[in-house]
Chain A
């Protein structure tokens, strides 16, 4: 963690449980609402359940105004911690930061705006106690604009075509995760959205739970074209990362040989025609054939370099995770295993 952090801590620390059962992480990124109201709404059912909890808010510089009222109620003894980063870092960095600074064994991530009913948090935490490592909320039944549902349906249809478990509300962002699991997962760039899928890739138990949608979560969301483009690129990146991180040449090799075969076919046809006396110097098809062949070779060469990089890194890395430590722990000291890292 190298992000510049300034921590605003209330002076009266004694009011906070030092090791709460639940840490609720709220990264403040878009569409922020009144955070004090949000805190009261979501913390009430948690308090009723008798669990000890803390709320960890992380804000970028522009969120300063929003978090000030939180510090006021924190000084009155509410279990709230507020972190302020010095620059705009993006949501993944905020989540990573908050995860590193909270201590509860169970972490709940919550957007800074209302998406699900407050009662949902309790259900998600219950799901963890039933044996899951990650429980992600699905807003269901939906009662927001049809356009939201349509774009969600298309996106999750694409996503579900190549990922398991099939998730139907990745965008929701309300999740309960065991903290040790969260710390094992790579939270970078735009892939934090797919956190449950990254967890499933590491062999953790992931489940999706239908929870009631918040009545305020109804506005029609039409984004700029750049956002849609980014989501599609995310899907492409995810597809590659989930399937081919250990075997890049399978991806690039397949792509490259397809291109090269088509290109070679075109050139073969042209060669045949040339031998039969037909001129080819003025045929743009020749350009197409050469272009496809060249592209194909480039793709294979790139896959080869990827394969070299994987090969070089493989010796220092274990790409698997054990379900639990082996039964005879005493023996482990004899086999010097390199530290387990995610692929």
Chain B
């Protein structure tokens, strides 16, 4: 028996989670027992253990479960994007494969989504993780992300989120962006975003794939997202702003040159160092302007090809 098009797609990226697959499928099945039609998309991200064998066996006997197998380990973001690409439901829910999220929260998220949101993010109540290496960095990161992206999400690290399929079709995540889906969704698609509290469990099987090294990456990605967000619509304007600052430095050093050569005893070195520094800043002024022009060209070509998508809208009932 094959199912028709499901209403709900649950996407779970898996990387070496062999022990967790069967309990995960069981938990999701139980949680969604009352839902009419759903599918569970397991995305194997190049696991080297028994994940694929286990998931494949389950997919073969359970028509709700589909396995998408990536050719190598691409990372969580790409695995999630692959799952989104293959999702068929009108509503998509993403969650982690390590059973730290509770599938029983899925109906909560989808119910909230029905209230008229494009994205509903879970935030973890009473988080069961190590304090020093997980909770504190996460708290700092979330404050930073809130501050910089201006998207009020308390817990960006929580994978349990629900999306309208229209939203997922209009954004694309790559690199390490899965932590910033709300920020990306807000910035590029104008999504309406809500939060609901979700349960959180300690890890039962397998090991965590995160280390402290990701903090630096998160900071870098945050900077990238911030820059793209403020830069992508008018790169020339942003570059011109930088170029203006450089021009101010150039002028200041130019003035210093004049003062030094008029007011003080003339030394040969004076006549080189200040004007030299002024010229370096002047060089930067020109360089940034030219770079801004190149960025405008790239953007222009993209828009001309019809690459710019409309933001999501809801037509209000009269």
Using a CB–CB cutoff of 8 Å, the interface residues on chain A facing chain B are 200, 202-204, 246-247, 249-250, 253-254, 281-284, 286-287, 290-291, 294, 297-298, 301-302, 304-305, 307-312, 314-316, 318-324, 326-328, 330-331, 334-335, 337
Contacts of B269 in A (CB 8 A): 281-284
Interface membership of B151, Cβ < 8 A: no
B74 to chain A: which residues have CB within 8 Å?
203, 319-320
B295 touches A290 (CB 8 A): no
Q: Check A302 against B291 for contact (C-beta < 8 Å).
A: yes
Give every chain B residue within 8 A of A320 (Cβ-Cβ): 70-71, 74, 78-79, 81-82
Contact status B294-A305, CB under 8 Å: yes
Assess the B273–A282 pair: CB atoms within 8 A: yes
A312 touches B291 (CB 8 A): no
Contact A308 B298 (CB under 8 A): yes
Does the CB pair A246–B175 fall under 8 Å? yes
Given A320-B82, A322-B70, A323-B71, list of 7 further CB < 8 A pairs? A246-B175, A281-B260, A284-B269, A301-B288, A322-B82, A323-B44, A327-B59
Contact flag A322-B260 (CB < 8 Å), given A309-B298, A315-B307:
no
**What is the bound-complex CA distance between A337 and B172, given in angstroms?**
13
Q: Assuming the A-B contacts A315-B172, A320-B81, are A328 and B66 also in contact, with contact meaning beta carbons closer than 8 angstroms in the complex?
A: yes
B-side interface residues, number (CB < 8 Å): 62
- Roughly how many angstroms separate A301 CA and B235 CA in the complex, as a whole number? 10
Contact B223 A253 (CB under 8 A): yes
Known: A203-B70, A305-B295, A320-B70. A249 touches B220 (CB 8 A): yes
Report the bound CA distance from A327 to B60 in whole Å. Answer: 9
Residue of chain B at shortest CB distance from A247 = B175
Contact B71 A301 (CB under 8 A): no
* Inter-chain contact A246/B270, CB cutoff 8 Å: no
**Least distance between B142 CB and chain A CB atoms (Å):** 22
Contact mask for chain B residues 212-238; partner A; CB cutoff 8 A; 1 contact, 0 none? 000001001001100110011001000
- Beyond A249-B220, A319-B174, A337-B85, whether A301 also contacts B291 by CB under 8 A is yes
- Pick the contact of B284 from A284, A298, A305, A319 — CB < 8 Å? A298
- Which residues of the partner chain B approach A304 to less than 8 Å between Cβ atoms? 227, 231, 295
Contact A308:B270 (CB < 8 A) given known A324-B69, A335-B85, A335-B88 = no
Least CB distance, B227 to chain A, in whole angstroms: 6
Q: Tell me how far the C-beta of A174 lies from the nearest C-beta in chain B, rounded to whole angstroms.
A: 25
Q: Mark B240-263, 1 if CB is under 8 A from A, else 0.
A: 001000100000000010001000
Which residue from chain A places its CB closest to the CB of B274 in the assembled complex? A281
B299 within 8 A of A: yes
A324 to B46, CA, bound (A): 12
Binds A, one of B19-27, B93-101, B103-111, B275-283: B275-283
User: Which residues from A are CB-within-8-Å of B242?
Assistant: 297, 301
A204 touching B71 by the CB < 8 A rule? yes
Partner of A294, one of B71, B274, B284, B307: B284
B72 contacts the other chain (CB 8 A): yes
Q: Which residues of B contact A298 (CB under 8 A)?
A: 284, 287-288
From A203, A249, A294, A321, give the contact of B227 (CB < 8 A).
A249
| Residues of chain B within 8 A of A253, CB atoms compared | 220, 223-224
**How far is A249 from B256 in the complex, measured between Cα atoms in Å?**
35
Please indicate the chain A residues that have their CB under 8 angstroms from the CB of B309 in the complex: 315
**Nearest CB on A from B168, distance (A):** 11
In the bound assembly, the distance between CA atoms of A22 and B120 in angstroms comes to 54
What B residues does A290 contact at CB under 8 A? 277, 280-281
Instruction: Tell which of B78, B223, B227, B267 touches A319, judged by Cβ atoms closer than 8 Å.
Output: B78
Query: Are B82 and A305 within 8 A (Cβ)?
Result: no
| B273 near A286: Cβ-Cβ < 8 Å | yes
Residue-wise interface mask of B (284-318) relative to A, using a CB-CB cutoff of 8 A (1 in contact, 0 not):
10011001001100110010000101000000000
Q: Inside 8 A of B71's CB, which chain A residues have their CB?
A: 202-204, 320-323
Q: How far apart are the CA atoms of A108 and B59 in the complex, in Å?
A: 38
Q: Are A294 and B2 in contact (CB under 8 A)?
A: no
Any A CB within 8 A of the CB of B67: yes
Query: Which residues from chain B contact A334 at a C-beta distance below 8 Å?
Result: 5, 88
19 contacts between A and B (CB under 8 A): A202-B72, A203-B71, A246-B175, A253-B220, A253-B224, A281-B256, A281-B269, A294-B246, A297-B246, A298-B284, A314-B174, A318-B85, A320-B71, A320-B74, A321-B70, A322-B71, A326-B66, A331-B66, A335-B87
Which chain A positions have C-beta within 8 A of B223?
Answer: 249, 253
Contacts of A250 in B (CB 8 A): 217, 220, 224
Decide: A307 near B224, CB < 8 A? Known: A290-B277, A291-B280, A320-B78: yes
B70 touches A282 (CB 8 A): no
B277 to A323, Cβ gap below 8 A? no
Contacts of B270 in A (CB 8 A): 281-282
Q: How far is the CA of A323 from the CA of B86 in the complex (A)?
A: 14
Which 3 A-B residue pairings sit nearest by Cβ, starting from the closest? A203-B71, A282-B269, A203-B72
Tell me whether A286 and B59 are in contact in the complex, defined as CB-CB below 8 angstroms, given that A304-B231, A319-B174, A335-B86 are known contacts. no
| A67 CB, min distance to chain B CBs, angstroms | 38
Kindly state whether residue B239 has any CB partner on chain A within 8 Å.
yes
